[in-house]
Structure 1
């Protein structure tokens, strides 16, 4: 992957601290991380190890105190809030443990929403939504609302919504934590299929924060964090 395409994300020497009352808490302490197109990378470690902070910085939601962030070969340092918002809207998808679907919208409307925000014409949106729902096996549920779906179906809607805009990077925060084993394996199969899809620039990269061993064993690389540092790179070997 690294030989064919530049990295989707490169984090170098990241430092981040938070203030809790009178105390300063170091969230990241010199983290270096590279994410390549078409790979699934798992971030593991105990609560408070820095996983969520990395996801927030990678998703352009938060900024580091020090260090550099390059997205798809572009240094994002110095970009203003509007530029960061547009980059996040157009190039990054998000999958959450709690699905974060809009309950009053149908499945089709939930998946369509990112395209609507991006100003994609209605005819193209309908075609892309239909194709994306077919890809996740939910064509028959397009007009259902989220509360009529199982947990696995709702997570598949969330994956379809994350992928509908053809992002370079998908940020996933504990995507299987609410799912039983069988459903989790189905969702992971779908994520790997989407991640390893061929196409210009390679498939979308997935950066996943997880405590779930089912996710860890299905990822291409595993990075372990502790106290804001990368603890062990022994498992940081591509397997696909």
Structure 2
């Protein structure tokens, strides 16, 4: 069961897709606990079920069977309003392509989730400026995304995910479009942020640099977590 220190717990989660008369099992009885302050790396080949698992962990898709506990409470993802509020208040997302709003500057991109959540303007400003300093972008607050490097854009995306102080941050291939040095810096930043803020980071990636920096590594094969990899700690 979920509880303190366990922002997310999956119990016997199953998900299938239909393509015509064919039934494709994407997840086959997944049990997973994502712990507070932990950077968890999710690996596996294409088609192993990683994207499906991320969507269920992010309360975007509902499982066909099994239970999803977020911060210790059962979440019915089919209750669209409840799931949306849970995502808004408790989950941050970091994407491979950054997903920044091009007509907004850095400050406005990071501020937007707080605006949507109804946070007062004074508190919004203080939190945004604090997180931008933390990710090394304090001097770029008024710049537009197209004036930034790829690494800087990803820092904005991380700041945007963290500014609402989520219990869980989900990242899908966040280093795929970054060079080696920048990717390493991003992963170090995410790990440090997880430890500092107590947010759990769940990152799906083929990048071996991630597995060297993660607090925990799990592998997904054919919709099943490989038992021998489930608790393998990072060695670096």
| TM-score category of the 2 structures, normalised to the smaller one | over 0.9
Structure 2 partner of 1:194: 193
- The 8 Å contact of residues 77 and 83 in structure 2, kept in 1 or not, is answered as no
Aligned-residue offset at 1:97: 0.4
Deviations 1:135-179 (CA, angstroms, capped at 9, x unpaired): 101011111110110000000000000000000000000011111
Name the residue aligned to 2:150: 151
Equivalence for 2:215: 220
Specify the alignment match of 1:16 in structure 2: 15
Q: Does the 8 Å CA contact 2:214/2:233 hold for their aligned counterparts?
A: no
> Within 5 A, what are the aligned runs for 1:204-219?
204-219=199-214
Point out where structure 1 has 5 or more consecutive residues left out of the alignment. Answer: none
Whether the 8 Å CA contact 2:212–2:234 is kept in 1: the answer is: no
The answer as to whether partners of 2:211 and 2:234 remain within 8 angstroms in 1 is no
Q: CA deviation at 1:73?
A: 0.8
CA distance in 1, matches of 2:77, 2:120: 31
Inter-partner Cα distance in structure 2 for 1:208 and 1:217: 13
Structure 2 CA distance for aligned equivalents of residues 69 and 25 of structure 1: 21
Give the length in aligned residue pairs: 233
TM-score after normalising by structure 2:
0.95
Using the TM superposition, give the Cα deviation of residue 185 of structure 1 relative to its aligned residue in structure 2, in angstroms: 1.1
For the 8 Å contact 2:219–2:229, the answer to whether it is kept is no
Matches within 5 A, 1:131-170: 131-170=130-169
2:82 & 2:66 partners in 1: Cα distance? 19
In structure 2, C-alpha distance between the alignment counterparts of 1:234 and 1:124, rounded to whole Å: 42
State the alpha-carbon separation in 1 of the partners of residues 176 and 234 from structure 2.
24
> What residue ranges of structure 2 are gaps of 5+ in the alignment?
none
CA deviation after TM superposition for structure 1 residue 231, in Å = 1.9
User: Over aligned residue pairs, what C-alpha RMSD do you find?
Assistant: 1.6
TM-score by length of 1: 0.93
Q: Which residue is equivalent to 1:236?
A: 231
Contact between 2:93 and 2:170, CA under 8 Å: does it hold in 1?
Answer: yes
Q: Post-superposition shift, 1:78?
A: 7.4
Contact 1:15/1:64 (8 A) holds in 2: yes
- Whole-Å Cα distance in 2 between the matches of residues 173 and 142 of structure 1? 25
Following superposition of structure 1 onto structure 2, how do residues 66-215 of structure 1 map, counting pairs within 5 Å? 66-77=65-76, 80-197=79-196, 203-215=198-210
Contact 1:13–1:66, Cα closer than 8 Å, also in 2: yes
Q: 1:239 to 1:47 in 2, by over 3 A?
A: closer
The answer on whether the counterparts of 1:6 and 1:73 sit within 8 Å (CA) in structure 2 is no
